[in-house]
Amino acid sequence: MKIIADNYLNKEKLNSVIHFAIKRVHGEQGLMEIDPYIISYNARSNEAVIRCRNFSVNKLRASLTLITNFDEHAISIFVLKATGTLKSLKKEAKSQ
C-alpha cells in the first residue's frame, strides 16, 4: 500500500495509524479479527507491506479507505496490490 501524509511517518506511527483506522470503523473486535502486522515499510517511497487475516481483507481495506487524518495531519492510504501470499507479492513486485 502507498501512504501519502503531510508529515513524516515511521513504522511505529504507521502502526498506530492503522490501529486507529481499524478501531474507528470496526472496533476492538475488528482489530482482533483483522490482526494487522506491518511486514515492511519504506519511508522514502512511503510504501508498506501489511499482513492480515485472509477473510478480513475487505474490512482492512474499508478501514484504510476511510481514514483522512491522524493527529491533525492529513493522511491518505491506497492499497496498490493485495495477494494471498508473500511469495506471490514478491513475484508481482519483481515483474513490475
Partner 1 sequence: MRRFVDLCLNPPLNDPKVIEKISKFSKLIGLNLVGFVFDERSSENQISRIIEPFRTLGIDVVTRINLAPKSRLELLHDLRKFRGKYEILSVKCLNTQVSVVASRDRRVDIVSIGYKISMFNIRKMINRIVNKPLEIKLSEILNPLNPRKFVLRRLYEEIFTAKKNKVPVIISSGAKNHLMLRSPRDMAAVGILLGLESDDALDSVSRIPYSIVERNREKLSSKWIAEGVQIHRGSKN
Task: By CB under 8 A, name the binding residues for partner 1.
Answer: 2, 4, 25, 58-59, 61-62, 64-66, 68, 74, 76, 78-80, 82
- Tell me which residue of 89, 33, 21 sits closest to 57, measured CA to CA: 33
Q: Which is nearer to partner 1, 37 or 78 (CB)?
A: 78
Count other C-beta atoms under 10 Å from residue 29's C-beta.
9
Q: Which is nearer to partner 1, 42 or 68 (CB)?
A: 68
Q: Which is nearer to partner 1, 74 or 93 (CB)?
A: 74
Q: How far apart are CA 80 and CA 17, in angstroms?
A: 18
Q: How far apart are CA 35 and CA 56, in angstroms?
A: 9
The CB-of-39 to partner 1 minimum distance in angstroms stands at 19
